[in-house]
Amino acid sequence: MRRYLIAGNWKMNCGPGRTSELLQGIKELSPQIPEAVDVLVCPPEISLTTASEVLNDYDVYLGAQNVHYEDEGAFTGEVSTGMLKEVGCSYVIIGHSERREYFGETDKTVNAKVIKALLDDLKPVLCVGESLAQRKKEVHKKMVKKQVQAALNSVKENNVSDVVIAYEPIWAIGTGETATPEQAQEMHEMIRSVLSELYDEDAADAIRILYGGSMKPHNAEELLSQPDVDGGLIGGASLKADSFTDIINIAEKLS
Ligand SMILES: O=C(CO)COP(=O)(O)O
């Protein structure tokens, strides 16, 4: 049985001060994280240390939004897996469409980062998803399949269960437009079938596939009810304590 993972991608929002306030707000609204649900927050790098201190022994995982695939060296502006672990991260988002679009992330770098994260015991949240033009041309399944295959190249069956995949149609990110539950399920099912071509059935079955793209309290229930939707990677609605905890509670109700 896959556990729901409700993850907040804060993007370039919340310095240390706001991070502390937002996490305190979440703690107040949800002093006890429901047992059946895993919760993850991914603040900007500059706020990870503060987040780690505020979270302390609160049952919420900490993640970063990016990582480099080398251990150290002359890579201005980058951070390594070791640094992220040192400040308490256990997850890292890799290959978000914004990084692919604005920062030159490619299938090749995404693959190198996924491999490095797994090697160093960080769980990658691997993002895939098609653009509106690709969906209109009806090549979305082909594109997403290719992204999943490329990102998991050389990833072995014995540690693939630590990978989380986030299907995020680019046309639904920050637009208020959400994939319908049927569209989401269709893509998640396709991704799972790609996983079962690469790995045995049990391994493919254990991998969590999150939906991302304008997930809000009002649409979370129908999205999370889909059999292959195992959680959400939430942008805007994760920046408010009440909407984020509402989605956590919806996941608990469905568990
Ligand atoms: O990109 C996303 C999460 O990674 C989704 O962002 P929104 O929830 O703001 O659409």
Instruction: Quote the ipTM score.
Output: 0.99
Write out the two tokens for 199.
Answer: 């790995």
Q: 233 CB less than 6 Å from ligand 1? A: yes
How does pLDDT run across 64-110, given as a tens digit for each residue? Answer: 999 999 999 999 999 999 999 999 999 999 999 999 999 999 999 99
Q: State the catalytic residue, choosing from 68, 96, 140, 188.
A: 96
Question: Average pLDDT for residues 214-222, to the nearest whole number?
Answer: 97
The answer to whether residue 225 scores a pLDDT higher than 90 is yes
* Full residue range of the structural domain in which residue 223 is found: 4-254
Which phi and psi angles does 70 have, rounded to 5°? -100, 160
Q: Give the other-Cβ count within 10 Å of 23's Cβ.
A: 24
The answer to whether residue 243 scores a pLDDT higher than 90 is yes
Q: What pLDDT sits at residue 208?
A: 98
- What percent of the chain stands above pLDDT 70? 100
What confidence category does residue 254 fall into, taking pLDDT thresholds of 50, 70 and 90?
A: very high
Instruction: For ligand 1, atom 6, name the residue with the nearest CA.
Output: 235
User: How far is 254 from 250, CA to CA, in rounded Å?
Assistant: 6
Ligand 1 atom, smallest distance to 213 CA: 10
Q: Residue 151: CB partners within 8 Å, gap ≥ 6?
A: 94, 95, 107, 110, 111, 114, 126, 128
168 is a catalytic site residue:
yes
Give, for ligand 1, the residue of 9, 41, 215 to mutate: max count of ligand atoms closer than 8 Å to Cβ. 9
- What percent of the chain stands above pLDDT 90? 97
What confidence category does residue 3 fall into, taking pLDDT thresholds of 50, 70 and 90?
A: very high
The answer to whether residue 21 scores a pLDDT higher than 90 is yes
Give, for ligand 1, the residue of 177, 214, 239, 246 to mutate: max count of ligand atoms closer than 8 Å to Cβ. 214
- Say if residue 11 carries a ligand binding annotation: yes
The answer to whether residue 113 scores a pLDDT higher than 90 is yes
Instruction: For ligand 1, atom 7, name the residue with the nearest CA.
Output: 235
Q: What pLDDT sits at residue 177?
A: 87
CA 66 to each of CA 82, 102, 166, 178, 190: distance values in angstroms, whole numbers, following the listed order: 13, 13, 14, 24, 26
pTM: 0.98
- Say if residue 236 carries a ligand binding annotation: yes
Q: 170 CB less than 6 Å from ligand 1? A: no
Question: Average pLDDT for residues 231-239, to the nearest whole number?
Answer: 98
Ligand 1 atom, smallest distance to 176 CA: 10
Question: Residue 175, by phi and psi: left (phi above 0), alpha (psi -120 to 50) or beta?
Answer: alpha
Report the residue count for the chain. Answer: 255
How does pLDDT run across 140-172, given as a tens digit for each residue? Answer: 999 999 999 999 999 999 899 999 999 999 999
Q: 173 CB less than 6 Å from ligand 1? A: yes
Q: 111 CB less than 6 Å from ligand 1? A: no
Work out how many domains the chain is built from and give that number.
1
Q: What is the CATH number of the domain that holds 130?
A: 3.20.20.70
Q: State the catalytic residue, choosing from 98, 105, 130, 168.
A: 168
The answer to whether residue 176 scores a pLDDT higher than 90 is no
How does pLDDT run across 39-64, given as a tens digit for each residue? Answer: 999 999 999 999 999 999 999 999 99
- Say if residue 159 carries a ligand binding annotation: no
